[in-house]
Amino acid sequence: MNTWTTGAAQTVLVGVGATAVMDIWLLLLQRLGVPTLNFTMIGRWAGHWRHGTWKHNAIAKAAPVQGELALGWLLHYATGVAFAGLLVGIAGLPWLTNPTLLPALGVGIATVAAPWLVMQPAMGAGIASSRTPAPAKNRLRSLVNHSVFGFGLYLAADLAGVLIAWISR
């Protein structure tokens, strides 16, 4: 494989792996009784885009969309891959062969801007959950989740490098 193909494949693996690490974290939180992301609502939000509706007063009250759970999961993983691409764009392709924690954690933490400034306002929760009953708790939860994602970027880069090397033999 050439460098670009290898880098692209590795970036996809890093994004999928980091998103899976975040999902394991969310599953743990769920088992502990902590409310977590609802991928059905993310899919519902995305499902309304085709009709030109980008913002809702309360996404839970919006009309359901066929396949919204699957669409929510697809968007979740596609976003993880895009954020991995952002990391590689910032840190460069060499980061994939010699990953370090700081850039991955930095990008992971920075990605909390997406839910705070785009998703939550568009779904009716306000900027950084300002319209929810417990905004500070929700902000902290988002920040921790995205920090776990950042750590997942680092872990997944190590594993993806090993997998790509094994496949390339």
pLDDT in tens, 2-16: 677 888 989 999 999
Tokens at residue 64, please? 């359901």
The contacts of residue 19 (CB under 8 Å, 6+ apart) are 76, 77, 79, 80, 81, 149, 152
Taking only the tens place, the pLDDT of each residue in 109-132 is 999 999 999 999 999 999 999 999
Q: What is the pLDDT of residue 2?
A: 67
**What number of H helices and E strands is found in the chain?**
8, 0
* Chain mean pLDDT for the chain: 94
pLDDT per residue as tens digits for the range 70-83: 999 999 999 999 99
Threshold 0.85, pTM exceeds: yes
